[in-house]
């Protein structure tokens, strides 16, 4: 009699824990998507109000080392023909990037590399300084 009661309590706790994990994951996904909607709007409008020496026919938005952000921005801009989004790393060629978005810190030598190019650098860190 004691064992079946313990068994039922175990499954009740297990199922409750699993439900909470899935609920929290759904909330985290929703927060991420809201943040990405704001970020994509910010980046889009920022580039629209930037004066380019020679306006490129297609804007290349590069995202530093974050495939989740890259995928979300691609989804946000899928109807905009003049924007392409790609993920880059420290070893990537960045000559065709008009904008680089940093959602995380990059190595100092990468910042040194981009400071020599005419690339709009935008990030979410408080201490993001390029140049």
Please name each of the domains of the chain with its CATH number.
2-123 (3.40.50)
Q: Rounded mean pLDDT of 78-98?
A: 90
Q: Rounded mean pLDDT of 32-36?
A: 82
Q: What are the distances in angstroms from CA 9 to CA 20, 22, 35, 107?
A: 16, 20, 39, 50
pLDDT at 126: 59
pLDDT at 27: 60
Name the percent of the chain lying above pLDDT 90.
17
Computed over every residue of the chain, the mean pLDDT equals: 77
pLDDT at 52: 80
Whole-number Å distance between alpha carbons of 84 and 62: 8
Helix 2-48 and helix 67-76, axial crossing angle in degrees, nearest 10 = 60
Name the percent of the chain lying above pLDDT 70.
73
Report the predicted TM-score, pTM, of the whole model to 2 decimal places. 0.71
Q: What are the distances in angstroms from CA 33 to CA 36, 51, 79, 80, 83?
A: 5, 29, 18, 19, 19
Strand 99-102 and strand 59-64: pairing?
parallel
Quick check: 47 and 120 in contact, CB under 8 A?
A: yes
More confident of the two residues 128 and 2: 128
Q: Over 70: is that where the pLDDT of 20 sits? A: no
Which span out of 16-20, 114-118, 124-128 was modeled with the highest average pLDDT? 114-118
């Amino acid at each position: 009699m004691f064992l079946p009661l313990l068994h039922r309590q175990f499954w009740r706790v297990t199922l409750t824990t699993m439900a909470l994990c899935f609920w929290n994951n759904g909330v985290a996904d929703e927060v991420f998507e809201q943040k990405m909607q704001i970020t994509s709007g910010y980046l889009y409008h920022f580039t629209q109000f930037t004066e380019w020496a020679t306006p490129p026919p297609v804007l290349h938005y590069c995202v530093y080392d974050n495939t989740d952000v890259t995928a979300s921005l691609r989804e946000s801009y899928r109807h905009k023909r003049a924007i392409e989004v790609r993920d880059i790393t420290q070893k990537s060629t960045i000559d065709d990037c008009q904008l680089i978005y940093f959602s995380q810190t990059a190595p100092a030598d990468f910042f040194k590399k981009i400071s020599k190019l005419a690339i709009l650098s935008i990030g979410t860190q408080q201490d993001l300084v390029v140049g």
